[in-house]
Amino acid sequence: AKHEGRNGYRFFTTEMQTRSERQLQLVNALSQALEREQLTVHYQPQISVINGRIVAAEALLRWYHPELGQVSPAEFIPAAEDSGLIIPIGEWVLRQAVRQARKWMLDGLDPMIIAVNLSAVQFRHSDLPNLVTRILDEEGLPAEYLELELTEGVAMHDTQNAVAVMNNLHARGVRMSIDDFGTGYSSLSQLKKFRIYKLKIDQSFVRDISTDPEDKAIVSAIIHMAKSLGLQTIAEGVETAGQLAFLREQGCDEVQGYYYSRPLPAQQFEEFARAKAMV
């Protein structure tokens, strides 16, 4: 048993070392990603269940590094958060997304909301409301077309500060939604204090709703409780007609997922939106 333990320990440290080396390598490369123009933003439609129209587009960051290749945000966003690089990168994404939304508006696309992911680090460490207002002003987008997607952690971590920042943003007309809902520890009743208008039901609950009775029950409960609190709902990770049918039956307002479209480069998103507006 002693022998195994030692092996276990060794294995663990080697793995940790490899992980932190990878982390360091990522942070180094990421610190130059902005100036080297390796970052882009893709857009994924959020679709009304009622009429099939595009209600919003979620901005999702993409990073292509010449040697590392395409790095997943699931990997580099945590590295960006730990290193503080999320502050300049997050500001850049926000500006790109707001600028793109304004451009689509001028180009005559049907009005839609642009949804931008916000890290807890951005929420805590920068003068967020002023930054957001400045970017909206400079790019010429009315505040009601911007939605900030926050995770439950943002709201729950430093509740007093979170309430103040959300009140401030809300007063300026910016919408806020809770991302990955159901994966954190918050209850719907706790969320009442926060100025949010929409819950995004995490894709882990949506994946098996066609077959798993428990997931059906969870998703149905979230939708009905959200409704009774006056909140809208969107289901993430919708890939099949069967999932969509169940969500429609339960009264979910919107869906997002590969069933309609993957996240697309701006130009392709625009083509998708124009084609959809014609049907």
Residues in contact with Ca ion by CB under 5 A are 117, 149, 179-180, 236
Q: Minimum CB separation from ligand C2E for residue 243, in Å? A: 9
Q: Minimum CB separation from ligand C2E for residue 157, in Å? A: 15
Closest by alpha carbon to 67, among 24, 38, 90? 38
The interface partner of residue 64, options being ligand C2E, Ca ion, none and the CB cut-off 5 to 8 Å by kind, is none
The interface partner of residue 258, options being ligand C2E, Ca ion, none and the CB cut-off 5 to 8 Å by kind, is ligand C2E
Closest by alpha carbon to 129, among 88, 176, 97? 176
The interface partner of residue 270, options being ligand C2E, Ca ion, none and the CB cut-off 5 to 8 Å by kind, is none
Report whether 111 contacts 105 (CB < 8 A). Answer: yes
Q: Minimum CB separation from ligand C2E for residue 15, in Å? A: 23
Nearer to ligand C2E, 182 or 237 (CB): 237
Does residue 140 sit in helix, strand or coil?
coil
**Sign of the torsion formed by the C-alpha atoms of 185, 143, 126 and 19:** positive
How far is 243 from 91, CA to CA, in rounded Å? 35
Nearer to Ca ion, 152 or 180 (CB): 180
Task: List beta partners, residue 40.
Answer: 62
Nearer to ligand C2E, 86 or 223 (CB): 86
The interface partner of residue 178, options being ligand C2E, Ca ion, none and the CB cut-off 5 to 8 Å by kind, is none
When CB distances to ligand C2E are compared, the closest residue is 257
Closest by alpha carbon to 147, among 250, 272, 234, 221? 234
Structural element, H or E, at residue 199: strand 198-201
How far is 12 from 27, CA to CA, in rounded Å? 22
Nearer to Ca ion, 82 or 138 (CB): 82
Residues of the shown chain interacting with ligand C2E in the complex, contacts defined by CB under 6 A? 44, 60-61, 72-74, 77, 90, 93, 117-119, 179-180, 203, 236-239, 257-258, 263
Q: Minimum CB separation from ligand C2E for residue 238, in Å? A: 6
The interface partner of residue 72, options being ligand C2E, Ca ion, none and the CB cut-off 5 to 8 Å by kind, is ligand C2E
Buried b (16+ CB within 10 A) or exposed e, 40-64: ebbbbbbbebeeeebbbbbbbbbbe
Q: Minimum CB separation from ligand C2E for residue 60, in Å? A: 4
**Sign of the torsion formed by the C-alpha atoms of 164, 93, 232 and 206:** negative
Nearer to ligand C2E, 182 or 263 (CB): 263
Nearer to ligand C2E, 93 or 209 (CB): 93
